[in-house]
Amino acid sequence: MFLTSIRRSAAMAVLAGIGLPVAVISSGASAQSYPTKTITLIIAFAPGGPSDTLGRITADHMSRTLGQQIVVENVGGAGGTVGTERAAKSAPDGYTLFQHHTAFPAAQSLYSNLRYDTRTAFETIGLINTGPMVLTSRKSLDVKDAKSLIGWIKEQGDKVTVGHAGVASNSHLCSLLLMQVAASKPALVPYRGTGPAMNDLVAGQIDLLCDQATTATPQVVAGAIKAYAVTSAERLPALPDVPSAKEAGLTGFDMVIWNGFYAPKGSPKPILDTLHAALQKMVDDPKVIERFAQTGTVTFPKEQRSMEAHRKLLESEIERFAVMIKATGVKQEAVK
Ligand code: MLT
């Protein structure tokens, strides 16, 4: 078991007093003094997107709780699978952690040659938040509502450009849904994350982007892009003028994403417990809850926040995506 913080400070004071380096107490029991150095948090997409935004909130909050800096490392590529592989192959010592979303279980069915096993590569530390996607367009697009947008996509066919963050990413899955709803094949434009895709949308370089509420909301509120629908059953309080998919008449355009926190398989249980507790402190913080609300996401109810509940959700999502993706007949990609 961990020393309580009081017992630990007392032990450290005694050791310091007799001139022994504090690290001595950690030999053979490294978890007891964890963390003693900077931690890396791998984010599997480019800077500026929703994963990066959330990763920086998490890193900042947990750094303060743990008393050690957490540095975000963006490892984008192949719909998040490049960063996932890097995280999965890191030492299971608590100094490389990983945050990922719904694309993690989806990738299992969309790639033929993943070099990690989605089911066993990570320890689940806990769920962070959940929210919908927002269907958006460049500001200059002269289309007034979702129904007209679908008509325009049908009419323009592959002249329409839709940005996404790589096969299996949320924005890619949302683009596939859009293609189904519109029964049309626009040109899909891949990026290493929706951060750069959103920059191009704001600059009018691409027509459409279906991005998470986390980063779509501030751009819509600022008037930099247009929004046509959110993929949830209800409107978002942060975007009261944007209809739900149902209100907008987009049947089947439903998608809710969730984010979780992970450590490589085999990380010591006391370290996982410390990280889980730090994560709970963050998701219970009213300031964090308020920040999430401003960008259309919510934390999970307490009963769904355990490490076991996170694992259960991950496993059920692997199954759900396997069935769904098989039914759509979408071909698997190979990670190069
Ligand atoms: C990102 O941060 O770029 C997104 O989470 C990617 C995605 O659409 O899944």
Distance (angstroms) between ligand 1 centre and the Cα of 210 equals: 10
Ligand 1 cavity residues, CB under 6 Å? 45-46, 49-52, 101, 103, 165, 169-171, 193-195, 212
Rounded Cα–Cα distance for residues 297 and 291 (Å): 9
Atom of ligand 1 nearest to the CA of 164: 8
Pocket test for ligand 1, best of 51, 53, 259, 321 (most atoms within 8 A of CB): 51
Dihedral angle over CA of 284, 297, 220, 256, nearest 10: 170
Average the pLDDT over 76-92 and give the result: 97
Cut 0.85: pTM above it: yes
pLDDT cut 70: percent of the chain above it: 90
Task: Give the residue, by CA position, lying nearest to ligand 1 atom 5.
Answer: 51
Give the pLDDT score at 31. 55
Asked if pLDDT for residue 38 goes beyond 50, the answer is yes
Atom of ligand 1 nearest to the CA of 76: 3
Structure-model confidence comparison of residues 47 and 8, the more confident one: 47
Pick from 23-37, 178-192, 311-325: least confident = 23-37
The pLDDT mean for the chain works out to 90
Tell me the domains of the chain and their CATH numbers: 31-130+259-328 (3.40.190.150), 132-230 (3.40.190.10)
The model's pLDDT over 286-332, given as tens digits with 9 standing for 90+, comes to: 999 999 999 899 999 999 999 999 999 999 999 999 998 888 778 88
pLDDT band at 131 (very low <50, low <70, confident <90, very high): very high
Return the structure tokens found at 41: 């948090």
Distance (angstroms) between ligand 1 centre and the Cα of 44 equals: 8
The model's pLDDT over 204-258, given as tens digits with 9 standing for 90+, comes to: 999 999 999 999 999 999 999 999 999 999 999 999 999 999 999 999 999 999 9
Q: Is residue 225 helix, strand or coil?
A: strand
Within 13 Å and on the Cβ side, how many CA atoms surround 175? Answer: 27
Give the pLDDT score at 328. 78
Give the pLDDT score at 26. 37
Return the structure tokens found at 198: 């959103």
Average the pLDDT over 175-197 and give the result: 96
Positions of E strands within the chain: 39-43, 70-74, 96-101, 122-138, 161-164, 187-190, 208-212, 225-230, 256-264, 298-299
Asked if pLDDT for residue 175 goes beyond 50, the answer is yes
Asked if 104 and 200 count as a contact pair (C-beta separation under 8 A), the reply is: no
Give the pLDDT score at 32. 65
